Structure 1
Amino acid sequence: MASLTVFDLLAMHDFVSDLPAGWLHRLALLGKPVHHPAGTRLFREDTAAKHLWLLHSGTVSIDFHVPGRGDIQIERVGAGSVLGWSWARPPYLWRFGAAVIEDMRAVAVDASRLRELMTEAPDLGLQISERMLDVVAGRLQAARHRLIELYAYPGTPS
């Protein structure tokens, strides 16, 4: 993956691969390839949401903190997934937390610059917004299922 450009990595990611090349080039200017080893805490709830990650490999646990119980995993995401949606709406604070379970490689997109680009290019902004809505809906559904699992089977390990 080291020899691939950010544009190449975006062109291979399902979230944006079908966008026009001109838009991908503009998005590529906002991103950088990143690697985070297993055990890395990417972010916690209520901290500044500064990136959108497009995962190419690895596994990340999405969680939320429950006083007295610790971090409760609600979903695992991997290659081809999108991580982060809290950057898209004020107050730009993470609604969940995330930790790397298996070494992760991704494109990290600067959220502030992405919001600016979405304003400058409304057609692109609409495409990104619609896709992010799908991500949000999926995360909320996963949280719902996890809460049902926890309440229906209180002894389920976190």
Structure 2
Amino acid sequence: MAPLSVFDQLVLHPFLGDLPTGWLRRPAAHGRPVLRHTGYRLFREESPAEHFWLLRSGIGAGSFVGWSWLSPPYRWTLGAAVAEDCHAIEVDAAPVRLLISADPALGRELTARFLNVMGSRLQAARHRLTELYAYPDHPAGASGPG
């Protein structure tokens, strides 16, 4: 059996799979399948944000890694390393930024999807910090300041 094309993998990906076919073909043209092993450094804080990853397996499968590519100065605000072997679609950010600029409707849709996930992640981080600091005797807070 032939491996799935990047387009086919995006069709099956929960984050983008429901986009209209014409829209989905555009970012697919700028992606490639990758396997990243545990410990692999995806990016370092302050380095240029040149890619993002749509995760197909491993921690966070069905979501993405990377959003600093969306707005100037296009530099990573954090660093990231792979916590568990994963298959992903690595997408070149610069051409996707051009796609977003050229098609405002596509741009709004992609930006909204990224922002929704980012908001959920910030909310989860806030809840985690609340657990750590509000309940220092809780197992999750045992390593917190005290």
Q: TM-score range by the shorter chain?
A: 0.7 to 0.9
Structure with bigger helix share is: 2
Structure with bigger strand share is: 1
Partner of 2:85, secondary structure, is strand
Mapped pair 1:156 → 2:138: no
Instruction: Kindly provide the amino acid, as one letter, of the partner of residue 128 in structure 1.
Output: L
- Residues 141 and 96 (structure 1), Cα distance of their counterparts in 2 relative to 1, 3 Å cut: farther
Identity over the aligned pairs, expressed in percent?
A: 55
Tell me which residue corresponds to 2:53: 53
Which structure has the larger Rg over C-alpha atoms? 2
- Number of equivalent positions: 139
Partner of 2:101, secondary structure, is helix
Residue 134 of structure 1 and its aligned partner are, at CA, apart by 0.5
Deviations 1:93-141 (A, max 9, x none): 2222221121111111111110001111111111101101102202211
Give the gaps of 5 or more residues in structure 1. 60-77
Instruction: Kindly provide the amino acid, as one letter, of the partner of residue 86 in structure 1.
Output: S
- Residues 131 and 45 (structure 1), Cα distance of their counterparts in 2 relative to 1, 3 Å cut: same
**TM-score, structure 1 normalization:** 0.80
Give the gaps of 5 or more residues in structure 2. none
Aligned-residue RMSD, C-alpha: 1.9
Q: Which of 55, 59, 73 in structure 2 is aligned with 1:91? A: 73
Q: How does 1:1-158 map to 2 (within 5 A)?
A: 3-59=3-59, 78-152=60-134, 153=136, 155-156=142-143
RCO comparison, higher one (Cα < 8 Å, 6+): 1
Q: Conserved in 2, the CA contact under 8 Å of 1:85 and 1:135?
A: no
Residue 147 of structure 1 and its aligned partner are, at CA, apart by 2.6
Residue 55 of structure 1 and its aligned partner are, at CA, apart by 0.2
Instruction: Kindly provide the amino acid, as one letter, of the partner of residue 10 in structure 1.
Output: L
**TM-score, structure 2 normalization:** 0.86
